[in-house]
Structure 1
């Protein structure tokens, strides 16, 4: 079988391969917009593409497909970017196909061999599942020094052992469901350990809002590293955010500000350039222009109860 000399393949509508073996010189493969359906193990054994630098895949929710794809990842020793998603299809009462998550299938059949990829820099899991770092699969892994991006982790537990493996992480995206946090509280996720990520510059944290503030203990169980430059929060509160010395972009979304009042202090937000407040019950915002000395852009969205915008030397980009 003759080997193609193509270095890049982008798929947009359908799965078009009979075998990976035809494309052993590929550097970039993006098949995220289609779903891998296998008819034989050769169709989905991506370990043949040993020159890959960039890989984006969506797998069908079939045990054989998930197992063969995940078990072959370790051979891609030059891979730098991995974007991975498992897509489930179910039908609603009208017979329409509806995508759903697949956590149980992940736990049973997904072997996360990408921890054995020494050159991996960016890992994005669009379904969000990540195995518990306390499992045996992590015992022989000392560090992933090249990893800079780890995004869209669901119910991510920041254990000391796991964060020690990521000394150069710069971007982290995490999602926490209401069901996983409401009954047991936030302490189980060890978010106080985030301060150990000394090079973290961007953090996106989404927490589904509680129906009430009962037992809402996230502010007491989270700490932010001082290197942060960009922070996007939802379901949190202001806490000590204002004192982060390097913060330049702050996005407060989906009830990140609890309560009707917010009062800032002298010395807070000393380097903040961009502030977005989205969907809040904030009524009274008390501040001084000197509290935001570097602010260049202010965006307010669905702040329907806010009585007024305090005077600040700022270019107001959007008020919706």
Structure 2
């Protein structure tokens, strides 16, 4: 993947599986990447897990415009990861909440964000406090699957 320095669009289709797809560290070197999407054969969405160790050592993906399927784990540094996509306009992501935490996701830093689709699975041993700060440019907001898993 590191040899695809001019890659602008990556649509990853897979036949089966439910776990997130782990992207290689080379993803941070694709500076021209504008569109990243993961789906299965039935066009259901699955999620990418970006490599997030040592995020300070990797550059921002300024050209990223459309990110369809990023997996966000509240126990990791969500805000630092989202900061790697400062000009993103469309974002579809999944949050996995599995313990009793207070969650704060600073999406307002994404000043160009116009469309946000956020799905979330939570487990029955809450309670949860969930705070999302949205940017003023948001035009479309979809919240789905905020269900308790048993």
The alignment of Structure 1 onto Structure 2 pairs a total of residues equal to: 140
**Correspondence for 2:119:** 206
Using structure 1 for the length normalisation, give the TM-score.
0.38
Note if 1:116 corresponds to 2:116.
no
SS in 2 for 1:228: coil
**Structure with more contact order per residue of length (Cα contacts < 8 Å, sep ≥ 6):** 2
- Give the drift of 1:156: 4.5
Q: Deviations over 1:179-235 (max 9, x none)?
A: x41423352xx41x11111110000011236669x51322xx211111101111125
- Give the drift of 1:147: 0.5
- Aligned equivalent of 1:152, options 61, 69, 75: 69
Specify every segment of 5 or more residues in structure 2 that has no aligned partner in the other structure, as ranges. Answer: 40-45
User: Structure 1 residues 186 and 79, CA, compared in 2 at 3 Å: closer, same or farther?
Assistant: farther
Two-structure CA RMSD over aligned residues (Å): 2.8
**Correspondence for 1:316:** none
- Aligned equivalent of 1:183, options 86, 93, 99: 99
Do the aligned partners of 1:208 and 1:234 also contact (CA within 8 Å) in 2?
Answer: no
Specify every segment of 5 or more residues in structure 1 that has no aligned partner in the other structure, as ranges. Answer: 1-72, 88-98, 237-253, 255-320
**Correspondence for 1:101:** 18
**Correspondence for 2:128:** 216
Note if 1:76 corresponds to 2:4.
yes
**Correspondence for 2:93:** 174
Which structure has the highest helix share of the two?
A: 1
Return the alpha-carbon distance in structure 2 between the equivalents of residues 210 and 160 of structure 1. 22
Which structure has the highest strand share of the two?
A: 2
- Give the drift of 1:112: 3.7
Note if 1:194 corresponds to 2:107.
yes
